[in-house]
């Protein structure tokens, strides 16, 4: 529908008013809605800007009213926290470290201590002679084993711990050992603080001291007072100073952890239930196997290791020395030509005496050749002749060697161009004969035989043929003479070399003279080849 | 568990100890009163849904007021004053005792037990005497250790008063 306003002057104003009315009728609701919306948008902007100022207050208000805010924010915080930890784990770790570190340390220490205690107790009680005795007593009398242990071995046992509010005497928390039944701990607590006051008021100590311990029969009550709470331990037996220290520490911790609750205490002890673990840590049972026994064991342990080591070292030395001694003696006894008659061992020297064949090895050499290092050996060795086959052979070899070298050094000298044995040559031969026959005997003793090589030489003058013949004649002459006195010709080895391998000398004349000769070489074959025989 | 320390004070012979004896749990003998000067008993009452343990410190009554041991009333949450309605002087002394206690503890819930109400013939207090006994600002009750009259009510009243006392409840 289109409405045109009429342009007539007479009804122009009235028609304008009508038009306005019509417009309001038609689009009025929409227009006002648009205005509302625009207001709303504007006001929303204002709230957002003001939110920063109002938020803390708003949160405080809402939090005071109910816990909807906490519940609503909970998941968001959890997500944010998770995200934060995921992104910066190091920073998070650093932030909570001061809290976690001590807590973990404490927990570990307590766990370890408890473990060690229980192991100690278990081992000590089950293995010790006392443990066995007490088990027999328990079996005999029908009294339970733990009671027997406590009867005999109890050093002390903290049976109860009272945490008492100082001002009112009201019991804040109470713990007791498993088999200790205490009714009316609250009354006892009140009376205990009343008695504290009574003693204090009666004697009025100058420094404001308090009743700290009192004993009844085998029980002692040890009271430690803090500014707001008392910690009283009921102890059976004799408590050590360390317990007092522990009691003080516990009380300090309680004052620290429950500072507010203690300050504002008005009779509601529920909050002090959290102090139970602290109090329970004071309930300890120490039997002599834990305490005196432990001390004894510790002392023993302290000495055991060094003593054991020293003993082990000494034993080690002794065994080693013993072994060396026995092996040395065995080596000496096995050695040919040595007879041990007397042997004694000192720390710094060995005394060994006996008989010794002069050609046998020195005792020290025998021992060291068996790979044993010995202290100096002193003793007297009487010489004797050993008939040990090896020594007999050795002795024969020795004489063989000396004879061989004697004979080898002898030369039968001839005049120039002659093969006649002159008087000097005959004299030399006569000297050799004795040695040769002894050589035979020695060779036979060492299980072999001897051949004698005769090397005939000439001086270089003259023709080679002449010299060769001359050398041969000279060898013949010596061989013939030796045969004539009974030496088997088959044992003589002829070796006329003439000038082919001359003996050396500096002076030509002397060289010529010594080469006009027949020289000897003993060729001994023995059961054991001797160095001399190989030459 | 809520516990309240309640002190019972009064001159010697007012029947304090007898008053509570049959209503409380006790493990200590009366001898404590003359030796240590105090005997502690326990009384369980219910305030609303809450169990309240009253620890009753029965203080030795002596002649004269100065002998109240200040250490014993320290920290008390409520006081029961006991007077003997058949002995006027015990009522007269209440004001002094109250002053002493209030000086030490400040204003705390208190109740006056005018005891031995069963001895009607010997009762020495007029109605106005009873109303003014012990001075201003204190609740009063007639009690009898013999018949038990007023005793439970006294405990109940005091327990409720200590629970309601803003200085004593958080």
The predicted structure's pLDDT at residue A47? 65
Distance CA B64, CA B10 (A): 10
Indicate yes or no: CB of A187 within 8 angstroms of CB of B28: yes
Q: Determine what percent of chain B is predicted with pLDDT higher than 70.
A: 94
- B98-153 pLDDT tens trace: 888 888 888 889 999 998 888 888 888 888 888 888 777 788 888 988 888 889 99
Q: Which residues contact B29 (CB under 8 A, 6 or more apart)?
A: B39
Which residues are bridge partners to B41 per DSSP? B26, B56
The predicted structure's pLDDT at residue A23? 82
CB atoms within 10 A of CB B88: 13
- A128-170 pLDDT tens trace: 677 778 788 888 888 777 777 666 767 788 999 999 998 888 9
* B2 in contact with A, Cβ within 8 Å: yes
The predicted structure's pLDDT at residue B168? 44
Specify the higher pLDDT residue, A516 or A379.
A516
Q: Tell whether the torsion through CA atoms of A474, A476, A481 and A485 is positive or negative.
A: positive
Specify the higher pLDDT residue, A226 or A209.
A226
Indicate if the pLDDT at residue A232 is higher than 90. Answer: yes
The predicted structure's pLDDT at residue B157? 93
3-state secondary structure A151-212: HHHEEEEEEEEEEEECCCCCEEEEEECCCCCCCCHHHHHHHHHHHHHHHHHHHCCCCCCCCC
Indicate if the pLDDT at residue A534 is higher than 50. Answer: no
Query: Max alpha carbon distance in chain B (Å)?
Result: 46
- B9-20 pLDDT tens trace: 887 778 888 888
Q: Which residues of B touch A267 (CB under 8 A)?
A: 2-5, 52, 77, 162, 168-169
Confirm whether pTM is higher than 0.95: no
Q: What average pLDDT does this structure show over A432-460?
A: 80
What angle (nearest 5°) sits at the alpha carbon of residue B39, between those of residues B35 and B41?
160
CB A278 within 8 A of CB A258: no
- CB-based contacts of A250-253 (< 8 A; 24+ apart in sequence): A250/A278, A250/A279, A250/A281, A250/A282, A251/A224, A251/A226, A252/A226, A253/A278
Length of chain A: 535
pLDDT category at B66 given cuts 50, 70, 90 is low
Which residues are bridge partners to A523 per DSSP? A451
Return the closest-CA partner of residue A491 out of A432, A436, A411, A410: A436
Select from B27, B39, B75 the Cβ nearest to the Cβ of A167: B75
- A508-521 pLDDT tens trace: 888 888 888 898 88
Indicate yes or no: CB of B55 within 8 angstroms of CB of A170: yes
Give per-residue burial for A22-46: e unless 16+ CB within 10 Å, then b.
Answer: eeeeeeeeeeeeeeeeeeeeeeeee
Select from B55, B69, B72 the Cβ nearest to the Cβ of A186: B55
Q: Which residues contact A58 (CB under 8 A, 6 or more apart)?
A: none
Indicate if the pLDDT at residue A218 is higher than 50. Answer: yes
Q: What average pLDDT does this structure show over B30-50?
A: 84
The predicted structure's pLDDT at residue A120? 63
Select from B3, B27, B38 the Cβ nearest to the Cβ of A194: B38
- From residue A96, how far is each of A83, A89, A102, B39 by CA, in Å? 16, 11, 11, 51
Specify the higher pLDDT residue, A270 or A444.
A270
Q: Which of B7, B75, B167 is the best substitution to test chain A (most A C-beta atoms within 10 A)?
A: B75
Q: How would you classify residue A267: left for phi > 0, otherwise alpha for psi between -120 and 50, otherwise beta?
A: left
Return the closest-CA partner of residue B47 out of B155, B170, B166: B155
- A19-73 pLDDT tens trace: 888 888 888 778 888 888 887 777 666 567 777 888 888 888 888 888 788 888 8
Distance CA A265, CA A243 (A): 28
Q: What average pLDDT does this structure show over A280-305?
A: 66
Indicate if the pLDDT at residue A7 is higher than 50. Answer: no
- A393-428 pLDDT tens trace: 787 777 778 888 888 888 888 888 888 888 888 888
E strand or H helix that includes residue B17: helix B16-21
Distance CA B120, CA A275 (A): 53
pLDDT category at A1 given cuts 50, 70, 90 is very low
Q: Which of A267, A268, A271, A272 is the best substitution to test chain B (most B C-beta atoms within 10 A)?
A: A267
| d(CA A279, nearest CA chain B) in Å | 18
The predicted structure's pLDDT at residue A174? 92
Distance CA A497, CA A446 (A): 31
The predicted structure's pLDDT at residue A430? 84
CB B51 within 8 A of CB B81: no
The predicted structure's pLDDT at residue B166? 59
Select from B40, B74, B162 the Cβ nearest to the Cβ of A191: B40
CB B80 within 8 A of CB B111: yes
Distance CA B43, CA B77 (A): 14
Q: What average pLDDT does this structure show over A93-121?
A: 73
Identify the closest residue of chain B to A168 by CA–CA distance. Answer: B75
Q: Which of A173, A194, A262, A269 is the best substitution to test chain B (most B C-beta atoms within 10 A)?
A: A194
Token code pair at residue A30: 């929409």
| d(CA A194, nearest CA chain B) in Å | 6
Tokens 């410190």 correspond to B57
CB A313 within 8 A of CB A367: no
The predicted structure's pLDDT at residue B5? 93
CB atoms within 10 A of CB B70: 13
The predicted structure's pLDDT at residue A5? 47
ipTM value for the complex: 0.83
Mean pLDDT of chain A: 80
Q: Which residues of B touch A225 (CB under 8 A)?
A: none
Q: What average pLDDT does this structure show over A219-246?
A: 87
Q: Determine what percent of chain A is predicted with pLDDT higher than 90.
A: 6
> If you write DSSP's letter for every residue of A477-490 in order, what string do you get?
HHHHHHHHTT--GG
| d(CA A248, nearest CA chain B) in Å | 24
Q: What average pLDDT does this structure show over A357-375?
A: 83
Token code pair at residue A225: 């007072």
CA gyration radius for chain A?
62
pLDDT category at A297 given cuts 50, 70, 90 is low
The predicted structure's pLDDT at residue A301? 63
């Amino acid at each position: 529908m289109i409405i045109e306003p009429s342009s007539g002057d007479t009804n122009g104003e009235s028609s304008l008013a009508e038009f306005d009315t019509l417009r309001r009728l038609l689009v009025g609701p929409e227009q006002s809605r648009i205005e509302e919306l625009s207001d709303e948008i504007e006001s929303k902007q204002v709230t957002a800007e003001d939110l920063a100022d109002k938020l803390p207050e708003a949160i405080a208000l809402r939090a005071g009213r109910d816990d909807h805010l906490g519940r609503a924010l909970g998941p968001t915080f959890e997500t944010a926290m998770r995200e934060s930890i995921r992104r910066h784990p190091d920073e998070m770790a650093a932030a909570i470290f001061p809290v976690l570190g001590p807590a973990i340390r404490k927990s570990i220490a307590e766990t370890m201590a408890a473990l060690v205690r229980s192991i100690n107790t278990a081992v000590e009680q089950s293995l010790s002679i006392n443990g066995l005795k007490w088990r027999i007593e328990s079996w005999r009398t029908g009294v339970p084993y733990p009671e027997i242990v406590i009867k005999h071995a109890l050093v002390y046992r903290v049976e109860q711990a009272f945490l008492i509010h100082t001002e009112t005497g009201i019991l804040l928390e109470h713990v007791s050992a498993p088999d200790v039944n205490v009714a009316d701990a609250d009354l006892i607590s009140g009376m205990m603080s009343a008695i504290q006051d009574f003693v204090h008021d009666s004697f009025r100590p100058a420094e404001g001291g308090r009743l700290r311990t009192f004993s009844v029969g085998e029980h002692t009550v040890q009271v430690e007072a803090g500014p707001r709470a008392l910690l009283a331990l009921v102890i059976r037996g004799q408590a050590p100073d360390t317990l007092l220290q522990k009691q003080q520490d516990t009380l300090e911790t309680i004052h620290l952890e429950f500072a507010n609750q203690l300050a504002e205490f008005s009779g509601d002890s529920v909050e002090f239930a959290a102090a139970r673990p602290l109090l329970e840590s004071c309930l300890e049972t120490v039997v002599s196997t834990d305490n005196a026994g432990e001390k004894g064991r510790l002392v023993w342990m302290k000495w055991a290791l060094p003593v054991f080591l020293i003993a082990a070292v000494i034993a080690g030395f002794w065994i080693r020395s013993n072994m060396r001694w026995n092996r040395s003696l065995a080596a000496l006894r096995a050695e040919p030509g040595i007879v041990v008659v007397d042997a004694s061992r000192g720390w710094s020297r060995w005394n060994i005496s006996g008989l010794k064949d002069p050609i046998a090895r020195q005792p020290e050499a025998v021992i060291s050749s068996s790979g044993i290092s010995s202290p100096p050996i002193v003793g007297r060795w009487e010489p004797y002749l050993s008939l040990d086959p090896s020594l007999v052979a050795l002795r024969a070899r020795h004489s063989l060697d000396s004879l061989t070298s004697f004979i080898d050094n002898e030369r039968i000298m001839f005049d120039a161009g002659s093969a006649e044995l002159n008087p000097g040559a005959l004299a030399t031969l006569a000297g050799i004969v004795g040695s040769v026959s002894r050589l035979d005997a020695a060779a036979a003793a060492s299980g072999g035989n001897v051949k004698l090589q005769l090397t005939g030489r000439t001086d270089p003058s003259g023709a080679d043929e002449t010299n060769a013949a001359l050398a041969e004649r000279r060898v013949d002459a010596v061989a013939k003479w030796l045969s004539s006195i009974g030496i088997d010709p088959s044992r003589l080895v002829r070796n006329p070399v003439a000038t082919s391998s001359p003996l050396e000398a500096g002076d030509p004349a002397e060289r010529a003279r010594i080469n006009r000769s027949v020289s000897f070489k003993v060729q001994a074959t023995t059961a054991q080849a001797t160095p001399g025989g190989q030459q | 568990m809520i516990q309240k320390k309640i002190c019972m004070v009064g001159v010697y012979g007012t029947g304090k100890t007898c008053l509570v004896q049959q209503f409380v749990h006790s493990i200590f003998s009366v001898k404590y009163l003359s030796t240590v000067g105090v005997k502690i008993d326990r009384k369980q009452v219910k305030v609303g849904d809450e169990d309240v343990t009253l620890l009753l410190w029965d203080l030795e009554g002596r002649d004269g007021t100065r002998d109240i041991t200040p250490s014993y009333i320290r920290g008390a949450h409520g006081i029961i004053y006991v007077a003997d309605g058949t002995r006027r002087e015990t009522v007269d002394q209440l004001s002094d005792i109250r002053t002493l206690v209030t000086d030490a503890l400040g204003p705390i819930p208190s109740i006056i037990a005018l005891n031995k109400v069963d001895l009607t013939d010997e009762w020495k207090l007029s109605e106005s005497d009873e109303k003014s006994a012990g001075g201003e600002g204190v609740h009063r009750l007639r009690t009898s250790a013999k018949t038990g009259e007023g005793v439970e009510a006294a405990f109940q009243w005091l327990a409720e008063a200590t629970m309601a006392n803003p200085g004593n409840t958080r």
